[in-house]
Amino acid sequence: MFNPKNKIIARGAEAVLYVEDGKLIKERISKGYRVKELDNKLRKIRTKSEAKLLDRAKDANVPRVFKVSDKDMKISMEYIDGELVKNIIDELSDTNLRLLCMDIGKQIANLHSVSVVHGDLTTSNMILRGNEVYLIDLGLGFVSDRTEDRAVDLRLLRQALESKHYKIGKDAFEYILQGYSENYKNAEEVITRLKEKVEKRGRYKRKTKR
């Protein structure tokens, strides 16, 4: 059970994150509107699933998992002490933006190389520690070998950049694709699918405006 003395890092719809003994604890909270048995089952499945994804993706920059408890619905993991990318990316020089975004692309490539799809790639789920980017919060992630799923992962990031960081979003995404291409052997296939999806979305938008 959460100790009120612990420092809360974030509180979301599904979980509360706090620091305990230098480690980050992600505790999935009970939902009063769900039947208790179903609520416990869902929280247990999601806790175990996220921990397995983090362990599978250990060659990428993601938090290391120390302990998992599907009884308390907690994951104890490495606390990544750094800056949220969303808070700094708009103020970077072009050189630093390129370096940052190429590393983001590299880390996404590392995930995709082991068949992990993040599911929620935004600058809110990236932390810059030193000169390296860490991807966090794989709560919506899953295992997949489908090119389509990897392309959707990148498309969601593109949309997030265009929406939240529109001044630098286009350049940032091009740098990300560069880093991705240099570190993932099937990048060309994924990027081709991504472009098809973006073009299809553009045609749909134009059609609905008529």
- 47 vs 131: CA distance, rounded Å: 30
- Token digits for 118? 């993040």
Q: Any catalytic annotation for residue 145? A: no
- 31 vs 204: CA distance, rounded Å: 38
β-pair partners for 23: 20, 78
Per-residue pLDDT tens over the stretch 13-31:
788 999 999 999 999 988 7
Note down pLDDT in tens along the chain; length 210 residues: 545 556 788 887 788 999 999 999 999 988 777 788 888 898 999 999 999 999 999 989 999 999 999 889 999 999 999 999 999 999 999 999 999 999 999 999 999 999 999 999 999 999 999 999 999 999 999 999 999 999 999 999 999 999 999 999 999 999 999 999 999 999 999 999 999 876 666 444 434 444
Question: What are the phi and psi torsion angles at 168 (to 5°)?
Answer: -120, 0
Per-residue pLDDT tens over the stretch 175-191:
999 999 999 999 999 99
83-84/74-78 β-pairing: unpaired
CA–CA distance from 63 to each of 25, 76, 173, 177, 188 (Å)?
Answer: 11, 10, 24, 23, 28
**Helix pair angle (169-183, 147-164), 10° resolution:** 150
Is 63 in contact with 125 (CB distance < 8 Å)?
no
7-11/65-69 β-pairing: unpaired
Q: What is the predicted pLDDT for the residue at 45? A: 93
- One-letter amino acid identity for 144? S
Q: What is the predicted pLDDT for the residue at 204? A: 41
Strand order in the sheet with 132-135: 83-84, 126-129, 132-135
- Token digits for 35? 């039947």
Chain centre distance of CA 81: 16
Residue 201 half-sphere exposure toward CB, CA atoms < 13 A: 11
DSSP state of 123: G
- Which region holds residue 193: left if phi is over 0, alpha if psi is between -120 and 50, else beta? alpha
pTM for this predicted structure? 0.89
Residue with tokens 């408890």: 69
Catalytic residue among 120, 137, 145, 171: 120
- Token digits for 171? 């350049």
